[in-house]
Amino acid sequence: MNILARLVVSLSLACGALAQAQAASYPDRPIHIILSTSPGGGADVTMRLLAPKLAERLGQSVVIENKPGGSGMIADAYVARSAPDGYTLLVDITTFTVNPALHKDMSFKPLVDLAPITQTARAANVLVVNPTVPVNNVKEFIEYAKKQKGAMTYASSGLGSSQHLAMEIFTRAADAPMTHVPYKGGGAAMADLLAGHVQSFFAFIPTASEHIKQGRLRPLATTGATRSASLPDLPTIAESGFPGFQSYDWNGLFAPAGTPPAIIDRLQKEMKAVLAEPDIQLRLKDLGLEPVASTPADFKAFLTAEIKKAQDIVQQANIKLD
């Protein structure tokens, strides 16, 4: 073995030993979790619920920092540029998989510069209509939409949002074109739906539940793979003639690429344990969320599939931000 080869081997062994040493002592100082969303949002509420429990298990404080803006890309880029030592982590949401299809000038590559740790939780939505719309189930909804020849409207929380893409996938599968009405947030969309200015919406279940109880909205189906615990008598869209259809809003935990696998595995293991605690599961249910706790490999496979799905529907529907 020549001198250069020996040097390469020695450096590799040294780097491996250093990574093992870092993982063995991890964590020995506070961990910062950067959120891509504003304070008070769903991911923020979820992580502020989970962080104290995670801190207990890790034996170090966990600090939550919000860096909203740029559809989450400000936080993404910040963490992607951070040291891969497990002390700066990212929590991102569904926009993580949509951004590559809508933004061609991203300063980082999502699945190259960031390492998935675990999908923490997810939430199905519910297809609701204003009561003036004369439909009671998905079949009637589609038939009515077809008769309207594209004039029937659906709201979303914004152009390129998860509700927008999910409805585009759904209406294309049903061959029932509709008119998209984007809003700046789910609250504005819900207000106009209740007022009758727009006819339908994939709504967050906890937000819609009280309106459903009071008869101000009519639910047709939920978007999950299984029925919602909050609306157990309501079928899923998959049950309603569209097998395989499912759509969730989700949040997940990431680290900078290059973070030692032992640290990533430790974080996933501890988060999984937190999500399994009965009081946490009850609180998540109250928030309309279900725990996931996927492995890093499963989370990466999910993200890869979701990025591809978003790219396909953005191209098919010619969705553009400008």
Q: What is the per-residue pLDDT across 246-303, written as a single tens digit (0 to 9) for each? A: 999 999 999 999 999 999 999 999 999 999 999 999 999 989 899 999 999 999 999 9
CATH of domain 124-222: 3.40.190.10
Beta-carbon contacts of 14 under 8 Å, excluding residues fewer than 6 positions away, are none
> Does the pLDDT at position 138 exceed 80?
yes
d(CA 299, CA 304): 9
Distances, alpha carbon 213 to alpha carbons 18, 154, 209, 228, 232, in Å? 58, 21, 6, 15, 14
Range 281-305 burial, b when 16+ CB lie within 10 A, else e: eeebeebbbbbbbbbbeebbebbee
Q: 204 near 249, Cβ under 8 Å?
A: yes
Report whether pLDDT(145) > 60: yes
Tell me which H or E stretch contains 91: strand 88-93
User: Could you tell me the two tokens for 249?
Assistant: 């809003």
Question: Which residues touch 99 (CB under 8 Å, ≥6 apart)?
Answer: 71, 72, 73, 76, 106, 110
For residue 41, the model assigns a pLDDT of 85
- 21, 22, 269, 310, 313 from 319: Cα distances, Å: 48, 45, 38, 10, 8
What would the pLDDT profile of 180-202 be if each residue is shown by its tens digit?
Answer: 999 988 999 999 999 999 999 99
Rounded to whole angstroms, the Cα distance separating 311 from 322 reads 17
pTM: 0.88
Average confidence (pLDDT) over 12-32:
73
Write out the residue limits of the CATH 3.40.190.10 domain(s) in the chain.
124-222
- pLDDT: is 15 or 3 the higher one? 3
Neighbour count for residue 134 (Cβ, 10 Å): 10
Q: pLDDT (tens digit, 9 = 90+) per residue, 204-251?
A: 999 999 999 999 999 999 999 999 988 999 999 999 999 999 999 999
Residues of the chain with CATH 3.40.190.150: 3-122+250-317
CATH number for 3-122+250-317: choose from 1.10.10.10, 3.40.50.300, 3.30.70.580, 3.40.190.150: 3.40.190.150
